[in-house]
Amino acid sequence: MPQFLDHSDADFEARFTALLNAKREDSPDVDAVVADIIADVRTRGDAAVIELTEKFDRIALTPDTMRISADEVAQATEEVSAEDRAALTLAADRIRAYHERQMPEDAQWTDDAGATLGWRWTPVSAAGLYVPGGLATYPSSVLMNAIPAKVAGVGRLAITVPTPDGAINPLVLLAAQLAGVDEIYRIGGAQAIAALAYGTDTIAPVDKITGPGNAFVAAAKRRVFGKVGIDMIAGPSEILVIADGDNDPDWIALDLLSQAEHDESAQSLLITTDPAFGRAVAEAVDTRLETLERRAIAGASWRDFGAIITVPDLDTAVALSDHIAPEHLELCVADPVALSEKITHAGAIFLGQWTPEAIGDYIGGPNHVLPTARSARFSSGLSVMDFVKRTTLAQMTPDALRAIGPGAERLAASESLEAHGLSVTARLRKLNG
């Protein structure tokens, strides 16, 4: 059973704080191992990657077979059924259309001093996408990571996907094909991150790495940050549902389980103004867990980290939600739009009982790579903006330099940076004869 919390209880604050602070992911001491792997790949390149791949994925590679060939991609994607192909294509089209609207615009103007100022946006040259491997991989994540990169104009997009025992998911390869991925490598783990960041004889380095992974992948991304950009260090999945009593308990139960089934460390929370409805949802979860294919995983998540919280009103629910800053937030209330306008911190908001979070995972359009572990307080989900960078522009005319140059001279002097000031002074002296 999950925890039941009532906002009116004297110990609510203590229990709510403990719920948010519960350790939800294994933290093996992987950093030293990852540091050694990265150093090995930097030193030995392909040889280290091949050796580690054989050790962890039980597949023997050569530099020539690290990359999945175009023929292999074509052969594998032919195995995809027409129905699966149509669904994946629909998802790709919707994700692309959504992200095309995110493209920022260049700007340039002349200010009152006569200076021309502005900015322009340019894509990173190369990006690497990490895809968890084996038959349990997620083609939807390929679309969510690769399509924004291609929309942004990234010139080269490389994917690394481990293939334990040689298993390749055809849907992952089809998703890569639909997204316009340029290169696919059958490697994974920290060694794949190191190869993408530093390059090997076979794999050229990239400028940014995105995509989910296990603790070793997360530690590797943290270590290579600075050499390359990364999207985020993601933790276990999470969902918060705010619901009134005018909902189907079974629907809400399924929404909670949709995240619980990801991982034993995932967290599913329900905030409701109706205690009886909360109990009905808990009963519906128990019923569904009896038949759910991933019931062992979902059951452990719900038991250890799930909670049903009763509040007196929706304003209290909003305050708690902003403190949680959930990755996914469902608003199953009479006026979800109005309630959403009060929310400040959430990775993604799903409005109304007809908008289950699962739609966002696959086919809604917005990105499903979202901030976890309360990081929605200061960060956003993956977008086109992760694959472009802004360059500022400035051009002074002689009159503009006359107008603002003396201010620069004063500020340089105040910071005791003589050459800074003199570089302006020399030009002003020329202008002033």
Average pLDDT, the chain: 95
pLDDT at 137: 76
In a domain? residue 371: no
DSSP state of 67: B
pLDDT at 26: 56
* CA 145 – CA 176 distance, rounded (Å): 10
Unique residue bearing structure tokens 């603002």: 404
* CA 280 – CA 286 distance, rounded (Å): 10
pLDDT at 215: 86
For the residues of 177-241, what is the DSSP string, one character each? HHHT--EEE---HHHHHHHHHH--SSS---SEEE----HHHHHHHHHHBTTBEE-----S-EEEE
328 is catalytic: yes
In a domain? residue 240: yes
CA neighbor of 198 nearest in space, from 233, 181, 223: 223
> Which among 211, 230, 249 is the end of a domain?
230
> Which among 318, 347, 364 is the end of a domain?
364
Q: Which of 328, 330, 357, 368 is catalytic?
A: 328
The number of residues making up the chain comes to: 433
Same domain, 213 and 302: no
Same domain, 52 and 155: yes
**pLDDT score of 25 more than 80:** no
pLDDT at 145: 96
pLDDT > 90 fraction of the chain, expressed in percent and rounded = 92
Same domain, 189 and 57: yes
Residues 6+ apart with CB under 8 A from 409: 421, 424, 425, 428
Residues 6+ apart with CB under 8 A from 370: 327, 328, 347, 348, 376, 381, 382
Same domain, 188 and 280: no
Across the range 151-165, mean pLDDT stands at 96
Helix (H, G, I), strand (E, B), or coil: what is residue 157?
strand
* CA 368 – CA 383 distance, rounded (Å): 10
* CA 18 – CA 291 distance, rounded (Å): 31
Unique residue bearing structure tokens 């009103």: 313
Across the range 59-79, mean pLDDT stands at 95
* CA 178 – CA 175 distance, rounded (Å): 5
> Which among 230, 249, 283 is the end of a domain?
230
**pLDDT score of 220 more than 60:** yes
Same domain, 202 and 151: yes
- By the 8 A CB rule, do 115 and 394 touch? yes
Beta strands in 76-155 (DSSP E): 107-110, 116-123, 126-130
Find the farthest-apart pair of alpha carbons in the chain and give their distance in angstroms, rounded: 89
pLDDT-derived band of residue 349, with 50, 70 and 90 as boundaries?
A: very high
Q: What is the pLDDT of residues 372-425, one digit of tens each?
A: 999 999 999 999 999 999 999 999 999 999 999 999 999 999 999 999 999 999
Same domain, 209 and 128: yes
Q: Which helix (H) or strand (E) holds 159?
A: strand 156-160
In a domain? residue 356: yes
* CA 18 – CA 21 distance, rounded (Å): 5
Same domain, 309 and 330: yes
**pLDDT score of 23 more than 90:** no
Which residues make beta-bridge pairs with 90?
none
* CA 372 – CA 236 distance, rounded (Å): 7
In a domain? residue 93: yes
In a domain? residue 386: no
- The residue type at 94: R
**Number of domains within the chain:** 3
Residues 6+ apart with CB under 8 A from 353: 243, 247, 248, 251, 332
- The residue type at 220: A
pTM over 0.85? The answer is yes
**pLDDT score of 28 more than 70:** no
Q: What is the pLDDT of residues 169-214, one digit of tens each?
A: 999 999 999 999 999 999 999 999 999 999 999 999 999 999 988 8
**pLDDT score of 78 more than 90:** yes
In a domain? residue 194: yes
Cβ neighbours around 63 below 10 Å, total: 15
- The residue type at 332: C
In a domain? residue 383: no
Same domain, 80 and 166: yes
Q: Which of 327, 330, 357, 368 is catalytic?
A: 327
Cβ neighbours around 7 below 10 Å, total: 18
418 is catalytic: no
Name the residue range of residue 170's domain: 31-107+123-230
Same domain, 222 and 83: yes
pLDDT at 423: 98
**pLDDT score of 292 more than 70:** yes
Same domain, 64 and 130: yes
pLDDT at 266: 94
- The residue type at 296: A
Across the range 48-57, mean pLDDT stands at 96
CATH number at residue 143: 3.40.50.1980
In a domain? residue 39: yes
pLDDT at 235: 84
Same domain, 313 and 239: yes
pLDDT-derived band of residue 134, with 50, 70 and 90 as boundaries?
A: low
Same domain, 69 and 206: yes
